[in-house]
Chains A and B, each alone.
Chain A
Amino acid sequence: DVKVTQSSRYLVKRTGEKVFLECVQDMDHENMFWYRQDPGLGLRLIYFSYDVKMKEKGDIPEGYSVSREKKERFSLILESASTNQTSMYLCASSLAGRSGIGNEKLFFGSGTQLSVL
Protein backbone atom coordinates (compact mmCIF):
# COMPACT_ATOMS: atom_id res chain seq x y z
CA ASP A 1 0.00 0.00 0.00
CA VAL A 2 1.02 3.57 -0.63
CA LYS A 3 2.21 5.35 2.44
CA VAL A 4 2.16 9.11 2.80
CA THR A 5 3.91 10.19 5.97
CA GLN A 6 3.65 13.60 7.57
CA SER A 7 6.41 14.36 10.02
CA SER A 8 4.31 15.66 12.91
CA ARG A 9 0.80 14.88 14.09
CA TYR A 10 0.55 17.97 16.32
CA LEU A 11 2.59 21.16 16.18
CA VAL A 12 2.42 24.32 18.27
CA LYS A 13 4.22 27.44 17.05
CA ARG A 14 4.35 31.12 17.91
CA THR A 15 3.26 33.99 15.67
CA GLY A 16 6.08 35.05 13.38
CA GLU A 17 7.96 31.74 13.49
CA LYS A 18 9.05 30.02 10.30
CA VAL A 19 7.35 26.64 10.12
CA PHE A 20 8.21 23.60 8.02
CA LEU A 21 5.72 20.81 7.42
CA GLU A 22 7.26 17.75 5.84
CA CYS A 23 5.63 15.07 3.74
CA VAL A 24 7.15 11.92 2.27
CA GLN A 25 5.57 9.33 -0.01
CA ASP A 26 7.04 5.93 -0.78
CA MET A 27 5.42 4.94 -4.09
CA ASP A 28 7.28 7.07 -6.62
CA HIS A 29 4.24 9.25 -7.26
CA GLU A 30 4.71 12.25 -9.50
CA ASN A 31 2.01 14.50 -8.08
CA MET A 32 2.00 15.85 -4.54
CA PHE A 33 -0.43 18.24 -2.89
CA TRP A 34 -0.86 20.32 0.23
CA TYR A 35 -4.37 21.05 1.53
CA ARG A 36 -5.67 22.70 4.65
CA GLN A 37 -8.84 21.45 6.28
CA ASP A 38 -11.06 23.79 8.29
CA PRO A 39 -14.51 23.15 9.78
CA GLY A 40 -17.26 24.23 7.41
CA LEU A 41 -14.79 24.92 4.60
CA GLY A 42 -13.71 21.41 3.67
CA LEU A 43 -10.36 20.96 1.97
CA ARG A 44 -8.70 23.85 0.20
CA LEU A 45 -5.71 23.39 -2.06
CA ILE A 46 -2.65 25.43 -1.10
CA TYR A 47 0.03 24.26 -3.54
CA PHE A 48 0.74 21.25 -5.69
CA SER A 49 3.64 19.82 -7.61
CA TYR A 50 3.66 17.50 -10.59
CA ASP A 51 7.39 16.98 -10.79
CA VAL A 52 10.62 17.60 -8.93
CA LYS A 53 11.37 21.31 -8.60
CA MET A 54 7.99 22.15 -10.13
CA LYS A 55 5.26 23.84 -8.15
CA GLU A 56 1.95 25.50 -8.84
CA LYS A 57 -0.32 27.64 -6.73
CA GLY A 58 -3.60 26.24 -5.59
CA ASP A 59 -6.59 28.20 -4.40
CA ILE A 60 -5.09 29.74 -1.24
CA PRO A 61 -1.29 30.07 -1.63
CA GLU A 62 -0.91 33.38 0.23
CA GLY A 63 1.39 33.10 3.23
CA TYR A 64 2.79 29.74 2.12
CA SER A 65 5.59 28.42 -0.04
CA VAL A 66 6.68 24.89 -0.98
CA SER A 67 9.78 22.97 -1.86
CA ARG A 68 10.21 19.78 -3.88
CA GLU A 69 13.87 18.95 -4.19
CA LYS A 70 13.31 15.18 -4.33
CA LYS A 71 10.44 13.26 -5.88
CA GLU A 72 9.36 11.65 -2.63
CA ARG A 73 9.39 14.76 -0.45
CA PHE A 74 7.15 17.84 -0.56
CA SER A 75 7.58 20.51 2.10
CA LEU A 76 5.15 23.25 3.04
CA ILE A 77 6.70 26.40 4.50
CA LEU A 78 5.00 29.11 6.50
CA GLU A 79 7.45 31.99 6.24
CA SER A 80 5.97 33.89 9.20
CA ALA A 81 3.22 31.97 10.93
CA SER A 82 0.02 33.80 11.83
CA THR A 83 -2.93 32.78 13.97
CA ASN A 84 -5.19 32.43 10.92
CA GLN A 85 -2.93 29.62 9.74
CA THR A 86 -4.03 27.45 12.65
CA SER A 87 -5.50 24.47 10.84
CA MET A 88 -5.23 20.80 9.92
CA TYR A 89 -2.76 20.37 7.06
CA LEU A 90 -3.08 17.37 4.78
CA CYS A 91 -0.52 16.14 2.29
CA ALA A 92 -1.52 13.90 -0.61
CA SER A 93 0.09 12.22 -3.60
CA SER A 94 -1.06 10.61 -6.84
CA LEU A 95 0.50 8.76 -9.70
CA ALA A 96 -0.61 10.66 -12.81
CA GLY A 97 1.74 13.07 -14.53
CA ARG A 98 0.98 16.59 -15.68
CA SER A 99 -1.57 15.64 -18.32
CA GLY A 100 -3.60 13.61 -15.91
CA ILE A 101 -3.36 15.76 -12.86
CA GLY A 102 -6.47 15.53 -10.72
CA ASN A 103 -7.75 12.43 -12.48
CA GLU A 104 -6.11 9.81 -10.38
CA LYS A 105 -6.81 8.54 -6.92
CA LEU A 106 -5.22 10.65 -4.18
CA PHE A 107 -3.47 9.07 -1.21
CA PHE A 108 -3.50 11.18 1.93
CA GLY A 109 -1.30 11.40 4.99
CA SER A 110 -2.96 11.47 8.40
CA GLY A 111 -2.51 15.20 8.78
CA THR A 112 -0.67 17.74 10.93
CA GLN A 113 -2.75 19.80 13.34
CA LEU A 114 -0.92 23.13 13.55
CA SER A 115 -1.73 25.64 16.26
CA VAL A 116 -0.24 29.13 15.99
CA LEU A 117 -0.37 31.06 19.25
Chain B
Amino acid sequence: GDSVTQMEGPVTLSEEAFLTINCTYTATGYPSLFWYVQYPGEGLQLLLKATKADDKGSNKGFEATYRKETTSFHLEKGSVQVSDSAVYFCALNTDKLIFGTGTRLQVFP
Protein backbone atom coordinates (compact mmCIF):
# COMPACT_ATOMS: atom_id res chain seq x y z
CA GLY B 1 0.00 0.00 0.00
CA ASP B 2 0.88 3.68 -0.08
CA SER B 3 3.42 4.79 2.51
CA VAL B 4 5.80 7.55 3.57
CA THR B 5 9.25 7.06 5.08
CA GLN B 6 11.03 9.84 6.96
CA MET B 7 14.47 10.01 8.45
CA GLU B 8 14.68 9.24 12.14
CA GLY B 9 15.17 12.11 14.54
CA PRO B 10 15.95 14.05 16.43
CA VAL B 11 17.88 16.33 14.14
CA THR B 12 19.98 18.71 16.22
CA LEU B 13 21.43 21.84 14.62
CA SER B 14 22.94 25.15 15.58
CA GLU B 15 21.20 28.34 14.53
CA GLU B 16 21.90 29.33 10.89
CA ALA B 17 22.85 25.77 9.89
CA PHE B 18 21.50 24.14 6.72
CA LEU B 19 18.62 21.71 7.19
CA THR B 20 17.62 18.65 5.21
CA ILE B 21 14.94 16.23 6.35
CA ASN B 22 14.60 13.28 4.00
CA CYS B 23 11.26 11.91 2.88
CA THR B 24 10.56 9.15 0.37
CA TYR B 25 7.24 7.69 -0.62
CA THR B 26 5.61 4.67 -2.19
CA ALA B 27 2.37 5.20 -4.03
CA THR B 28 0.34 3.98 -6.95
CA GLY B 29 -0.83 6.79 -9.15
CA TYR B 30 0.25 10.41 -8.76
CA PRO B 31 -0.12 11.64 -5.21
CA SER B 32 0.09 15.17 -3.89
CA LEU B 33 2.85 15.63 -1.33
CA PHE B 34 2.88 17.73 1.82
CA TRP B 35 5.01 18.84 4.74
CA TYR B 36 3.20 19.58 7.98
CA VAL B 37 4.81 21.11 11.08
CA GLN B 38 3.81 20.67 14.73
CA TYR B 39 5.13 23.27 17.15
CA PRO B 40 5.24 22.35 20.86
CA GLY B 41 1.77 22.11 22.39
CA GLU B 42 -0.02 22.68 19.10
CA GLY B 43 -1.71 20.69 16.37
CA LEU B 44 -0.23 20.17 12.94
CA GLN B 45 -0.31 22.91 10.36
CA LEU B 46 0.43 22.76 6.66
CA LEU B 47 3.90 24.07 5.83
CA LEU B 48 4.03 23.49 2.08
CA LYS B 49 2.76 21.21 -0.66
CA ALA B 50 3.40 20.10 -4.23
CA THR B 51 0.81 18.53 -6.46
CA LYS B 52 2.79 17.20 -9.42
CA ALA B 53 6.25 16.09 -10.46
CA ASP B 54 8.97 18.79 -10.43
CA ASP B 55 6.76 21.20 -8.49
CA LYS B 56 8.52 23.05 -5.71
CA GLY B 57 6.62 23.95 -2.58
CA SER B 58 7.95 26.77 -0.42
CA ASN B 59 6.98 28.67 2.72
CA LYS B 60 8.79 30.49 5.57
CA GLY B 61 12.17 29.77 3.96
CA PHE B 62 11.49 26.03 3.69
CA GLU B 63 11.45 24.30 0.30
CA ALA B 64 10.73 20.83 -1.05
CA THR B 65 10.74 19.55 -4.63
CA TYR B 66 8.55 16.70 -5.85
CA ARG B 67 10.97 14.24 -7.44
CA LYS B 68 9.11 11.48 -9.22
CA GLU B 69 12.24 9.71 -10.44
CA THR B 70 13.54 9.23 -6.90
CA THR B 71 10.07 9.22 -5.22
CA SER B 72 11.30 11.85 -2.79
CA PHE B 73 10.14 15.13 -1.25
CA HIS B 74 13.03 16.26 0.95
CA LEU B 75 12.53 19.34 3.13
CA GLU B 76 15.31 21.97 3.10
CA LYS B 77 16.05 25.31 4.69
CA GLY B 78 19.19 27.33 4.17
CA SER B 79 19.47 28.85 7.64
CA VAL B 80 17.43 27.50 10.55
CA GLN B 81 16.31 29.51 13.57
CA VAL B 82 15.57 28.46 17.14
CA SER B 83 11.88 29.11 16.37
CA ASP B 84 11.97 26.33 13.74
CA SER B 85 12.26 23.73 16.52
CA ALA B 86 9.27 21.46 15.97
CA VAL B 87 8.22 18.07 14.64
CA TYR B 88 7.98 17.85 10.84
CA PHE B 89 5.70 15.36 9.09
CA CYS B 90 5.87 14.36 5.46
CA ALA B 91 2.55 13.22 3.98
CA LEU B 92 1.04 12.06 0.74
CA ASN B 93 -2.50 11.83 -0.48
CA THR B 94 -4.18 9.62 -2.97
CA ASP B 95 -7.68 9.10 -1.61
CA LYS B 96 -6.66 9.91 1.96
CA LEU B 97 -3.78 11.60 3.72
CA ILE B 98 -0.98 9.27 4.87
CA PHE B 99 1.61 10.67 7.28
CA GLY B 100 5.18 9.70 7.98
CA THR B 101 6.31 9.10 11.55
CA GLY B 102 7.61 12.64 12.02
CA THR B 103 11.11 14.06 12.52
CA ARG B 104 11.89 16.22 15.53
CA LEU B 105 14.12 19.21 14.82
CA GLN B 106 15.96 20.91 17.68
CA VAL B 107 17.79 24.16 16.93
CA PHE B 108 20.16 25.60 19.53
CA PRO B 109 21.43 29.18 19.68
Number of interface residues of A (CB under 8 A): 20
- CB contacts (< 8 Å) of B44 on chain A: these are 43, 90, 92, 106, 108
Q: Which of A40, A58, A103, A107 contacts B32 (CB 8 A)?
A: A103
Interchain CB contact under 8 A, B46 and A105: yes
- CB contacts (< 8 Å) of B73 on chain A: these are none
Q: Which of B43, B89, B93, B102 contacts A102 (CB 8 A)?
A: B93
Number of interface residues of B (CB under 8 A): 19
1/0 contact string of A18-29 vs chain B (CB within 8 Å): 000000000000
Interchain CB contact under 8 A, A41 and B43: no
Closest Cβ of chain A to B58, distance in Å, is 15
A61 to B97, CA, bound (A): 16
Closest Cβ of chain A to B35, distance in Å, is 12
Instruction: Tell me if B12 is interfacial: C-beta within 8 Å of chain A.
Output: no
A110 to B42, CA, bound (A): 4
A107 to B36, CA, bound (A): 10
1/0 contact string of A31-58 vs chain B (CB within 8 Å): 0000000001111010010000000001
Enumerate the 3 nearest inter-chain pairs by beta-carbon distance, A residue then B residue, closest first: A108-B43, A42-B101, A43-B99
Task: Show the binding face of B for A, using Cβ within 8 Å.
Answer: 32, 36, 41-46, 49, 89, 93-97, 99-102
Not counting A45-B96, A90-B44, A105-B49, a sample of 18 additional A-B residue pairs whose C-beta atoms are within 8 angstroms of each other reads A42-B89, A43-B89, A43-B99, A43-B102, A58-B96, A92-B44, A101-B95, A101-B96, A102-B95, A102-B96, A102-B97, A106-B46, A107-B45, A108-B43, A110-B41, A110-B42, A111-B42, A111-B43
